[in-house]
Amino acid sequence: MRRALALAAACAFLVAACTASHPHAQASSGSGTAASTSGPAPVPGATYAAGGCGSTPLLLGSAPTWAASANPPPLRYALADQGEVAGFLFGYPLMAPASAADSDKVLWVVDSPRGGPLRVTGHPVGAAKPVVSSVWPPDSGPGEIYPSQIEVPSPGCWRFTLAWPGHSDTVDLRYIGHR
C-alpha cells in the first residue's frame, strides 16, 4: 500500500513539474483571455506583463538569448508555443479593425535561419473563421527578423500560425477595439 501511494505521489509530482516547466502553463478562461500565470517567466530576466490571451502570455524584460542578434527593442513580446518565435509588439495594444492612425507592427524574431518568407495565418481563438493571412519576405536585418503589420477585422484573441521554411509555431495575440 505504501509503495502504491509513493508511486502515485511521484507520478503527480512529475506531471506537475512537467506542466509548470512548459512555457505557456497557465489557466485559461472560456473567454479566450489569458488567466494568471504562475511561476517564473519562461525567459530568464523577463517578467509576465498584462495583455496576453489564449495560451500566450506577454513578457517584458530580457528577450530570449537566440534573439540577441536582432537587437530587439524593450517592448512587450509574445513567445510562441514552441519557443521558436518571439513577436515584439510595437503597436501595443493591437487594434482591430486597423486604421491609418494605429500601428499594429509586430517584429517577429525567429530562432533559426529564415531561408524564405514568413507565412502568417490567423483566426479568432475558438473559431475557424474569419481567416486572415499574409506573407512577409526575409529581407530585413539585423538578425533573423520579419517586420509585419497584421490586420484583423474584429477585436478579440486571435491565434496565428507562423511558418517559414522547415519551421512552424503558434502564438495568440489580443486585439482591442478602437477607443
| DSSP labels, 113-153 | ---SPEEEEEEETT---S-EEEEE-S---SSSEEEEE---S
How many domains does the structure of the chain reveal? 1
| CA dist 6 → 11, 15, 17, 33 (Å) | 9, 14, 16, 37
Does pTM surpass 0.85? no
Helices assigned H by DSSP within the chain: 2-21
108-143 tens-digit pLDDT: 999 999 999 999 999 999 999 999 999 999 999 999
Q: How many CB atoms lie within 10 A of CB 29?
A: 10
Q: What is the CATH number of the domain that holds 170?
A: 2.60.40.10
In the block, cell 508511486 appears at 7
Read off the pLDDT of each residue in 57-78 and give the average, rounded to a whole number.
95
Q: How many CB atoms lie within 10 A of CB 144?
A: 21
Q: Is the pLDDT of residue 73 over 60?
A: yes
2-28 tens-digit pLDDT: 444 343 333 333 333 333 333 333 333
Residue-range definition of the domain harbouring residue 72: 2-176
> Residue 118 and residue 173: Cα distance in Å, rounded?
17
Cβ atoms 106, 118 nearer than 8 A: no
Q: What local confidence, expressed as pLDDT, does residue 102 receive?
A: 67
